[in-house]
Every structure is written in structure tokens, then in C-alpha cells.
Amino acid sequence: MTTGTVKLHRVLRTTPEKIYRAFLDADAFARWLPPNGFTGKVQHLDGKVGGTYQMSFTNFTSGHTHSFGGTYRELVPGERIRYTARFDDANLPGEMQSTITLKQVSCGTEMSVVQEGIPEMIPTDACYLGWQESLLHLANLVEPEIPG
């Protein structure tokens, strides 16, 4: 079975710790990860190495929902997150792995995203588009500094 890989790079005007927290806080994750046109729900999230998460995206237009979940393989606060994902739909087989690398830079945080093992029936360009939209949502969440 052929699988796809996407790689993205961004610099966000915030701290690595704030981005790290946005991946491990269930409410934050459900807010920023769904791409445009989708809502998200996190059924559970146990943010520790070996911990699992389960969530779903719902297409707001059609109402169609797909769910997925996985395991946290590596968590280095403010530096690195590596987790797996597997769709609950048997038509989307295999296990994906996402690796997020964070590095403090002069104007914020340099962020690299690598997602591997994307099922061959999902076009890689659609994954790039979805991640780009999600990362804009992430920036809107983590970049503002709102006092108290």
C-alpha cells in the first residue's frame, strides 16, 4: 500500500510552550485542528507518552463525521510532539504519524510538521490544504497575548 507524506514549516509569534499546550489541551485541539468547513470534538485526550486520544471531525455542510485516534509516542515539552493516528473507517487503513518540532527563534517559534503514512486514497494536496488551514487557526489561537 502506497502512503503519502506532507511537510510544513511555519514561524509563529508565540512561545514554544504555548504551541505545545495547544496540541495537548483537548478544548484547544478541537478548536484549531479541524480545517475550514469542519467542526471537531475530542472524546478523550490523555497527553502523556503512551497516552491516547480519540477525536472526530464533522463536515459542517454534509454532516458526515469521521473519527480517528492514536497514541502519543514522544512528548518533550516546548520542543517535540510525536503521535500516531488511525481512522476508525476501514476504508482508510494504516497508521499515520505526525511529528511536530518546535524551536525558539528571535521573533517567536519555528514549527515543523511532518505527517507520514497518509492513506493512498487521501490526496496529499488535500492534506497540505487542510494543514495550512489548521495552522492558520492555530496561529489565531496562540499568537494573541490577552492579559489576565
pLDDT tens digit string along 29-68? 999 999 999 999 999 999 999 999 999 999 999 999 999 9
In a domain, 58, yes or no: yes
Residue-level pLDDT at 46: 98
**Is position 147 within any domain?**
no
Expressed as residue numbers, the domain containing 66 is 3-142
* 136 in a structural domain: yes
Reply yes or no on whether the pLDDT at 2 is more than 80: no
pLDDT confidence of residue 148: 85
Residue 131 counted as domain residue: yes
Q: How confident is the model at residue 3 (pLDDT cuts 50, 70, 90)?
A: confident
* Contacts by residues 56-63 (CB-CB < 8 Å, ≥ 24 positions apart): 61/37
Determine contact, residues 114/6, Cβ cutoff 8 Å.
yes
**Tens-place pLDDT, residues 77-99:** 999 999 999 999 988 889 999 99
d(CA 132, CA 52): 25
- Decide which of 72 and 2 is more confident: 72
Residue 22 falls inside a structural domain: yes
Q: In the chain, how many domains are there?
A: 1
> Is 63 a member of any domain?
yes
Q: How far is CA 46 from the centre of its chain?
A: 15
- Residue closest to 33 by CA, chosen among 83, 78, 94: 83
Domain assignment of residue 148, yes or no: no
Of all residues in the chain, the percent with pLDDT exceeding 70 is: 99
Query: In percent, how much of the chain has pLDDT > 90?
Result: 93
Nearest to 72 by CA among 64, 81, 80, 63: 81
In a domain, 137, yes or no: yes
CATH number at residue 112: 3.30.530.20
Look up the pTM and report it: 0.94
At 125, the pLDDT band (50, 70, 90 cuts) reads: very high
Distance, in Å, from the CA atom of 128 to the CA atom of 42, rounded to the nearest integer, reads: 22
Q: Measuring CA to CA, which residue among 92, 89, 93, 109 is closest to residue 101?
A: 109
